[in-house]
Chains A and B, each alone.
Chain A
């Protein structure tokens, strides 16, 4: 294989990319070491000159590292945008017709790309810290950050070592050629590059969505941002300046809380808007593992504030910031090692980097904890304890409760890890399974966390740091809390009219906790904001939390399936309420009332390329079902896979109203519309009967099966530019559509237009189903012989006409009505110098039932001195017409007319064909979703306000 000289490969990006990968790794290592020595010198000596020179080397290395990372990202984008499919990454994630804007989503679809995205943000944050001038903190902080980068860049090194029999893989290089990653016969061909476009995998249709362009960068900035408080905490322990790091680190923690929170929120919004999950949160392991570091970060933020204000909780702050970063690493391990395959709907596929990921975690776990416990005794802790009436006391308790929430979520999410460990020691052990009711499982404990947090964040806000004089403050506190609590009781009672939560007292309690924190913090904002601006952010955040709790309850408890359809349960017994069919069958064109007081109509559908849009009308009826309260259209759609033709994704449509959303999603289509293989099987199993139907004459057909009603068929005409949902016209196609009317009884008329076409010597048939009669009709290829009769088979006779003259031809009468000097000629290219005219002829066939009129226009073209006659025909009568001779001087025209039988159109009809015109719909009303978004946005806004306030200070 090495002997082949390949043609058409662009190897430059590979060379640049490989160089960047190695450079990124080495420069990160160098930056770590340089900054390490700069830090050590800074701690141990007064040698400012020495510190500065190590720092200079560190800065240069970090700069080179940044350039290397950017160059590598640039090289990968270059091969993706230019569709260089000889590269593994381009071949796996893009294809020829991927729209430009999805190149970003395609970049981070792969593990290597998302590692690079993560590193990209580390580089950005590191550069920001260096450029801002953090004095003594730059050395230890960037040394730690660069060390993280060493590990991350090793994930894309792509080195292979031989270890006895085994090949050990160290990292996965994103800029390898396809032929370097796999062995395939295609690589025996020197020009294989030209043949790759067809096999390119492209971006998963589920990810072809603008959310996938914006959600991952924000989430990864969130993940990357947890490193900064971690680096500061490590720097604090390392330099033994245990409290000095608190001030510079605080804006970064607030930033991390805001950005990671926004990233998680956007993930929820993406799932809700673009996926068929019908929800923003499902306690999926991947979701949990992004939430957990955020919760710890928020706990750390609170202890950080305590430590800044009072000196208490300093140890906890160190611990929480280290833990938050470790949990990001753990999350990386869980989602990227393939270990979640059993329990998660959206984990990455495995890449063979499991042990490397374990090593990454272990290094920072052991290193971080070692530093922490080594310094534990030296970390200052005030001798005087916090009083029960102080803010720091309850803030700390709140942080503990957040950590408890983290433990509870992580426990169940880690089940696959427990399984791995158990089977490692006892391979025959039974595997633990995830809870039967996942959502209920998490909700039943997290509900109490929510109640706790609600009460704590309402009350603690009014408490004061270092409270020594509670006696004087007591009345103010009780007044504010009393009024807030009273108001909240009223609002809770009002809300219970909307949120149907009274069935469970736990829900009522949670609702009250949410309202209470909202009202108390609003009160705090109004009463105390002028005195202390820094509190505005915190009040916003906690109000947001309250709104979020109300939204979660409204959307969770009150979600209703309006597509419920319990009439159609077949033969099974013992159904509990949750087992009733949640999806409804809708036949095209017939409105179906549901038991929930709605009416649903599947109106139409349109196919554009691989996308099929559905138009559905939903009508909400009033309580007495007599009038329509609300009526609107929704457009869920499905995407077909370009290669297999199967459905690749079903995408919902969500109508947003102020207090509720209506979610709709195509749960199923007829099997023949889901999968072309099934369609073929069904087609092959149909029993087609051939018929010759004379054009224009209704022909009664006797059904084969008793269930098929009597019907007759009329061929209305032939369409030379036919359309069909599954037919994409190409230039050289010869296609005909047979325009059919199917009559049943006196007034049921259905139309159908089956197509038969010739493309590159192959015949394709596109049958059509008449669903109401269960008929499937196919046009047969003999139609071409019938329509295009060879000239030699026609017996022409000459007829000489004067203008306006009528002659009898067989049992018809033909009138020459006049000349058209600028005729349109089908299938014939007129040149500008051509002389052309058409003879307009009227053909009348006398009949007892009434006369039939037809028009036909044979054309005569004179090119130079050569006459070219172009014939025309009346297929209904089987007559053909051509102009033979023109005598301008006598105004006579000679027309050759051939008579024949009416053209017979060959079609085949199968009975009992499965229906193709229905959908299975899932539709729900989701109340209070807007409160979820509003609450979350308020939380993030509060964190941002606090961050900007701290940055300015």
Chain B
């Protein structure tokens, strides 16, 4: 075997090891039920409950924003985000939170919002008349 092949195989082996290491981080979205038993932080995708209070009172705590989220199984849980309220949060429909469950509250330190497209009206293309 040529030396270049040996090194190439070593690089390949390192690559496979690294890929396995990375693949471990990939999981499916958890539900709040999963979050209760999880030992590490999880990501939960859910629907923002707009009829429930969303509270951000900077004068009391600038790093606490609370709201309610309904996960894919229909379970509704209070969420505390340890950050100021993101701009236009109340407009979002789907929300992905990263964090863990603490005494019935999901404590999140990351949030990703999915807003309805601002440009939706532009995508309604005129249908041609027959």
| Residues on A facing B (Cβ under 8 Å) | 2, 88, 92, 160, 167, 169, 179-183, 341-343, 349-352, 385-386, 388, 393, 396-397, 400-401, 404, 407-408, 411-412, 415, 430-437, 441, 444-445, 448, 565, 568-570, 572-574, 578-585, 646-647, 650, 667-668, 670-671, 674, 914-915, 918, 920
Contacts and interface: CB of A to CB of B under 8 A. Distances in A.
A726 B49 CA distance: 33
Given A433-B27, A435-B22, 13 more contacts: A182-B122, A349-B119, A431-B28, A431-B45, A434-B26, A434-B43, A448-B18, A568-B62, A572-B105, A573-B103, A581-B64, A582-B83, A650-B87
B74 interface: no
Given A432-B26, A668-B84, A183 B126 contact: yes
A400 B28 contact: no
B37 interface: no
A583 B59 contact: no
Contacts of A646: 87-88
B52 interface: no
Most B CB contacts (10 A, CB to CB) among A179, A448, A920 go to A920
A182 B124 contact: yes
7 contacts: A393-B3, A397-B11, A432-B28, A441-B25, A572-B64, A580-B63, A582-B63
Given A408-B18, A433-B45, A565-B62, A668 B26 contact: no
B97 to A, nearest CB: 11
Contacts of B43: 433-434, 436
Nearest to A351: B123
B42 A670 contact: no
Contacts of B125: 160, 167, 169, 181-182
B88 to A, nearest CB: 7
A431 B43 CA distance: 11
B28 A581 contact: no
B4 A396 contact: yes
Contact of A408 (B8, B19, B58): B19
Nearest to A169: B125
A568 B3 CA distance: 61
A777 B22 CA distance: 59
A588 to B, nearest CB: 13
A407 B15 contact: yes
B96 A433 contact: yes
Interface residues of B, number: 59
B29 interface: yes
Contacts of A585: 58-59, 62
Contacts of B62: 565, 568, 581, 583-585, 667-668, 920
Nearest to A669: B58
Most chain B beta-carbon contacts within 10 A, residue among A183, A393, A434, A436: A436
Contacts of B129: 2
B93 to A, nearest CB: 12
A668 B25 contact: no
Contacts of A160: 125, 128
A924 to B, nearest CB: 14
A572 B2 CA distance: 61
A572 B56 CA distance: 15
* Residue of A433, A445, A583, A670 with most partner-chain B CB within 10 A: A433
Contacts of B83: 582-583, 667
A396 B112 CA distance: 41
A407 B19 contact: yes
B69 interface: no
Nearest to A573: B102
Contacts of A182: 121-122, 124-126
Contacts of A179: 126
Interface in B87-130: 87-88, 96, 98, 102-103, 105, 107, 109, 112, 114, 117-119, 121-129
In order of increasing CB-CB distance, the 5 nearest A-B pairs are A581-B63, A668-B84, A435-B25, A430-B28, A585-B62
Contact of B26 (A385, A407, A412): A412
A342 B129 CA distance: 36
B26 A565 contact: no
A679 to B, nearest CB: 15
Interface string B42-77: 110100000000001011111110000000000000
A578 B102 CA distance: 16
B22 A441 contact: yes
Contacts of A573: 102-103
Contact of A568 (B2, B11, B41, B63): B63
Contacts of A88: 122
A436 B98 contact: yes
